[in-house]
Chains A and B, each alone.
Chain A
Amino acid sequence: MLSYILRRLVATVPVMLIVAVLVFLMLRLTPGDPAAIIAGDNANTEQVALIRTRLGLDQPIFVQFFIWLGNILRGDFGESFFFKKTVAELILGRLEPTLSLALFTIVIAVAVAVPLGVLAAYKQGTWIDRIVMGFSVMGFSVPVFVIGYGLIYLFAIKLNWVPVQGYQPLAQGFGGFIHRLILPSVTLAVIYIALIARMTRASVLEVLGEDYIRTARAKGQVEIKILFRHALKNAAVPIVTVIGLGIALLIGGVVVTESVYTIPGLGRLTVDAVLARDYPTIQAVILLFSLVYVLINLAVDLLYTLLDPRIRY
C-alpha cells in the first residue's frame, strides 16, 4: 500500500511538469519581450532589467525554464508589479476566503446530493426521480452567476435575510463569517449537487439490483439501512470519483462566484490579474489550482481502498 501511494505520488510529477511547461510557454510564445510583459504596462526600465536578469532571459529557453521552475519550487513566484507585492504574499492573503467557500460548498453539496441521488434511485421512475433528474439537468445549464443573482435578489434584496455581498474573515467572529458565506456556497453548490446527485443515482441503481440487496431485504432489514448501509457503501467508489473530478467545476465556479459576491479570494484575484495582465500572478494561480486538482484526485484514488476493501493495490 505504501509503495502504491509513493508510486502514485511520483506519477503526478510528470503531469505537473507538463502543466508547468504549458504555463511557462504561455508567456514565452506570445510575441514581445517576456520581461516587459511580466513587468506589466506600468513598469519602469529598472524593473524590466531586474526581471531579465532574474529569469536569465539571455539564456537558451530550456535553461530559462529550469531557472523559472527552480524559483517556483523555492516558493518564489516572482513579483506582482500591479499589486506591488510578491505573488506568494498575494496568494497567502487570498487563501482563507477561497478555502472557506470551497469547503463549505463541498459540505453542502455532498450533504444534499447524496441523499437526493439515493432517493431518486430508490424511487426510480416516479415523479420524485424525475424532479431530481430534472433539477440535475437544470443545474448543469443555469450559469452560476445567474443562480447567484437570482439568490441575491430573493434572499438578500426581497427577503433581507442575508447581506448582499462581501466577506467577513473568520477571525472577526463565526456568526458573521457563516452569515455571509451561506449564499455564495449555495450558489456554487448547485452545479456540484447536480453532478453528484446524478452519479449517486446511477451508481446506487446499479447496486440495488445485486443479490446481497435481495438477501438483506429477505432477512427483513429496514429499507433505510439497506439503502445507506448496503447500497450506498457499495456504490461509493464512482460517487467519490465524481466528487474529485467535480473539483475542476468547483474551481471554475469559485472564480465566478467570488466576482458575483465580491469575495476577496483567489478567484477574484485571478480575474483582477487577467484584467491587469499581471502574468506572474496568473501563472502562480493556475499552477496552484492545478496542483490542488491533481492532488485531490490522487487522494480520491487512494480512498478507494478504504471505501472498498475488494480493491487492492
Chain B
Amino acid sequence: MSAEPAILDTARPVAARPPSDAWRRLFRHPGVLVGGFILLFMVIVGLCAPLLGTIDPSGINPTVRNRLPGFERTIRADDGTEIPFTFRMGTDSLGRDVYSRVLYGARVSILVGVIVAVISIVVGLVIGLIAGYVRWLDGIIMRFMDGLMAIPAILLAIALVSLFRAGLFSVIVAIVVPEIPRVVRLVRSIVLSVREEPYVEAAIMAGTPTPKLLIRHVLPNTVAPLIVQGTFICASAILIEAILSFLGIGIPPETPTWGNIMAEGRSLFRVFPHNIFYPGIFLALTVLAVNMLGDGLRDTLDPKMAQR
C-alpha cells in the first residue's frame, strides 16, 4: 500500500506544470515582448478611448461629410459650447469622426477576440475530454467534428450569421462554432496520449475516480497547448469579425468596429482611402501582435508543439 502514494507523489510534478524557467524565457522572447507591447497599447487605446480626444463615434454630422485627415472645424461640445476640433483621420460619408471610430473600434475587436477564444476553449475542452475519455461517444463526436471541419471556417461563420439577427452575440456564436472542432481534436489527442502515461495508469490502479483523474492528471497537460491555441483563435476571431463586418453581415453598421469603418469607406475608396487604411492598419497590427504572442507562447510553453 505504501508504494502507491509514492508513485503518485513523484509523478504529479512531471505532469502538472511546465518547467519553472518557462516564465522567465517567456518574458525574454522577442515575439512575446513586441506582440505583448502592441497588444497592451491596443487594449489601453480601447479602454481609454473617451480620454484620447475623441468625440461620439456614432455621432452623425452632415456638415463635415467626407473630409480628409487633418480637417479642422469647430464642433458643438456636450455642454453646448463651440470648440475647435481637428479630425485627425478625416470623416466618413456620414460625417462621423474616423479617429474616434477607430479608437472605439479597438474595444469591439479585442472583446470579440477574447470572448471567442475563451468560449471555444471551454466548450472544446469539455467535448474533447468527453471524446477522449468516453469511448463509445468518441466515434460519434469525432465524425461530427470532421463534418464541421469540412466546411471552410469563414463560410460556416457566414452561413451561421445569416440565421440570426445581426449583432455582437450572433457574430460571436458564428465565429465560435467553426473553432470548436480544432480545440476538440487537440484536447482529445492530449487525453489519448496522457492516458498511456505510467502516472495516469498508476492513478487508475490506485482507484482514482474518473472526474478527479481528469481534473488532477489530464487537465494540467492541456493548459499550455490550450493557451497557445487560444491565442491563435483570438487572432483569427478578430480577423473573421472584421471580415463579417466588412461584408456587411456582421455587427450592425452604426457600431464602430474596424470592419464597419472599412465597409463604409468602400464606395468612396478612390478619393478617400483613409477610411480603409487607418482601421486596416490598426486591425493588421492587432492581429499581428496576437499572432506574435502566440508564436512566442508556443516556443516557450509548448516546445513539443513548436517542433511540429
Q: Which residue of B lies closest to A251 (CB)?
A: B152
Q: Tell me if A56 counts as interface (CB < 8 A to partner B).
A: no
Q: Which residue of B lies closest to A259 (CB)?
A: B247
Q: Which residue of B lies closest to A255 (CB)?
A: B154
| Tally of A-B Cβ pairs under 8 angstroms | 136
Interface string of A261-279 (1 = CB under 8 A from B): 0000000001101110101
Q: Which residue of A lies closest to B262 (CB)?
A: A145
User: A250-305: which residues lie under 8 A (CB-CB) from chain B?
Assistant: 251-252, 255-256, 259, 270-271, 273-275, 277, 279, 282, 285-286, 289-290, 293-294
- Assess whether B153 is in contact with A274, with CB atoms less than 8 Å apart: no
Contacts of B144 in A (CB 8 A): 18
- Assess whether A290 is in contact with B152, with CB atoms less than 8 Å apart: yes
**Residue from A19, A26, A157 within 8 A of B150 (CB atoms):** A19
**Residue from B154, B155, B295 within 8 A of A137 (CB atoms):** B295
Stretch of A72-80, A146-154, A209-217 lying at the B interface: A146-154
Interface of A, helix, strand, loop or mixed by DSSP = helix
Interface of B, helix, strand, loop or mixed by DSSP = helix
- Assess whether B277 is in contact with A149, with CB atoms less than 8 Å apart: yes
User: B157-188: which residues lie under 8 A (CB-CB) from chain A?
Assistant: 158-163
- Assess whether B158 is in contact with A270, with CB atoms less than 8 Å apart: yes
Q: Tell me if A44 counts as interface (CB < 8 A to partner B).
A: no
Please count how many residues in chain B sit with their CB below 8 Å of the partner chain's CB atoms. Answer: 41
User: A9-45: which residues lie under 8 A (CB-CB) from chain B?
Assistant: 14-19, 21-23, 26-27, 30
Q: Tell me if A83 counts as interface (CB < 8 A to partner B).
A: no
**Residue from B159, B239, B243 within 8 A of A282 (CB atoms):** B159
User: B49-83: which residues lie under 8 A (CB-CB) from chain A?
Assistant: none
Contacts of A146 in B (CB 8 A): 262, 276-277, 280-281, 283-284
**Residue from A145, A164, A251, A271 within 8 A of B249 (CB atoms):** A271
Q: Tell me if A3 counts as interface (CB < 8 A to partner B).
A: no
Q: Tell me if A143 counts as interface (CB < 8 A to partner B).
A: yes
A–B complex contacts, Cβ < 8 Å, 6 sampled: A149-B262, A248-B152, A259-B247, A274-B158, A274-B247, A275-B249
Q: What 9 new A-B contacts, CB under 8 Å, besides A143-B283, A274-B159?
A: A26-B159, A142-B288, A143-B246, A143-B287, A164-B270, A247-B152, A251-B152, A271-B248, A275-B248
The interface of chain B, by Cβ under 8 A from chain A, is: 143-144, 146-148, 150-156, 158-163, 235, 239, 242-243, 246-249, 262, 269-270, 273, 276-277, 280-281, 283-284, 287-288, 291-292, 295
The 6 closest A-B pairs by CB, nearest first: A18-B147, A252-B154, A146-B280, A141-B288, A248-B152, A141-B287
